[in-house]
Amino acid sequence: MQEIYNRTVEVPIRISKGASEEAALRKLERWPREAALSIVLDESGGNFKNMVEFTAHDYGLALGEKKWDVDVGGDSIRARMVWDMLRDGEVKGRALLTVEIPKRPQGEESGSNVYVARVAYRIEIDEEVLQSSTTSGIVEFNL
C-alpha cells in the first residue's frame, strides 16, 4: 500500500464544568465515532469522510465496513478506525483514523473544561491501483 494522504490535527473538545467526571468520560469515549470523521480539514469545508468517499470513487473502489476499536484504559482514550476500500471483494485501499484524548482537561474556557484530541488521518491505496489509474483514460495517438 502507498500512502496518499497523511494529516494530524489537534481538536479542542469542550465539556461543561457542570458535567460529572463519568459523563465527561462517556462523551470523550463517543467523540471519535461521532465527530472525528466530520472535522473540517481544508478551506473548501471538506472532511475525512468526504475525502475517503471521493478517493474510493476516483480509483473505482467500493467502500467496505468501518471497523472501530476503542481503548479506554490508562490516562487517555485511544480509538482506531479502519475503513477498507474494495475491488472485487479484495482490499485495495484503506482509510485509517487514530484518535488520542487525554482523560484530564488541558485547560478551561468560559465555563467549560477543554480536552485536546490528537487525530491522525491516513489514506493508503494499493500500488497496482495507483499505477493503473495513471494510465487509464489516456488517449493514445500518433502524429
- The SS3 call for residue 18 is coil
Residue 107 pLDDT greater than 70, yes or no = yes
Q: What is the pLDDT of residue 42?
A: 80
Q: What is the pLDDT of residue 132?
A: 82
What are the residue ranges spanned by the domains of the chain? 2-128
Structure confidence at residue 5 as a pLDDT band (50, 70, 90): very high
- The SS3 call for residue 50 is helix
Which grid coordinates are listed for 53? Answer: 468517499
Average pLDDT of the segment spanning 29-36? 93
Question: What is the overall mean pLDDT for the chain?
Answer: 91
Average pLDDT of the segment spanning 13-40? 93
Q: What is the pLDDT of residue 134?
A: 60
Average pLDDT of the segment spanning 36-56? 90
Query: Per mean pLDDT, which of 33-47, 49-63, 120-134 is the most reliable?
Result: 49-63
| Predicted confidence (pLDDT) per residue in 78-97, tens digit | 999 999 999 999 999 999 99
Which grid coordinates are listed for 41? Answer: 480539514
Residue among 134, 133, 127, 65 nearest 95 (CA)? 65
Which residue reads 484518535 in cell numbers?
99
Average pLDDT of the segment spanning 54-72? 95
Q: What is the pLDDT of residue 138?
A: 47
Q: What is the pLDDT of residue 136?
A: 54
CA terminus-to-terminus distance, the chain: 37
For residues 54 and 133, the model is more confident at 54
The span from the CA of 77 to the CA of 102, in Å, is 6
